[in-house]
Amino acid sequence: MKEAVVSELILNAFEARTKSYCPYSGFAVGAALLTESGKIYRGCNVENSSYGATICAERCAALKAVSEGDTVFKAIAIVGAPKKAKEVKDYAYPCGMCRQFLSEFASDDITVIVAKSIDDRKIYKLSKLLPEAFSSDSMK
Ligand code: THU
């Protein structure tokens, strides 16, 4: 993946994070999802007073893409930190449910970027973060 694309995704994840609705946890997450079409979909975590109804940033972005007909995911960048934090001190890894959700829309594999800044980031393949994933093949 080209450096410019990685940087663009991280910038979009930071921008998405500014929209986080997280009055309960105070933890703001932003995600930027690149699809095969070349479009970038932003998502943020959207919490709910019924806590279990909360949607993570990654699934928010994924739902936006799929509902627009973009069902082949290439890469996603994720940024998470307490809402009030002046800087992002840790990498925010996707939760198990989001890893599973993303894997549904991987044609080959998905690049997962976790970032503290444009320059401070780690890059993985989803298959490494979710080995032996359950998929439609598992039901054959
Ligand atoms: N969260 C995400 O947005 N993505 C993840 O992968 C993990 C957790 C959100 C959900 C909740 O609003 C807050 O972070 C604290 O768990």
Q: Give me the residue spans of the domains in the chain.
A: 3-133
- Tell me the pLDDT of the chain averaged across its residues: 98
Read off the pLDDT of each residue in 63-83 and give the average, rounded to a whole number.
98
- 20 pLDDT band, cuts 50/70/90, is very high
**Terminal CA-CA length for the chain:** 33
Tokens of 3: 């450096």
What's the pLDDT tens digit per position in 40-51? Answer: 999 999 999 999
Place of tokens 């919490």: 47
Query: Spelled out in words, what is the top-level CATH class assigned to the domain 3-133?
Result: alpha beta
Entry pTM: 0.97
Q: Which atom of ligand 1 is nearest to the CA of 45?
A: 3
Distance of CA 75 to the CA centre of its chain: 9
Report the amino acid identity of residue 48: N
Read off the pLDDT of each residue in 49-65 and give the average, rounded to a whole number.
98
Q: Which atom of ligand 1 is nearest to the CA of 54?
A: 12
Cβ burial of 87 (10 Å; 0-12, 13-18, 19+) is exposed
Q: How far is the CA of 70 from the centre of ligand 1 (A)?
A: 23
Backbone angles phi, psi at 29, to 5 degrees: -125, 140
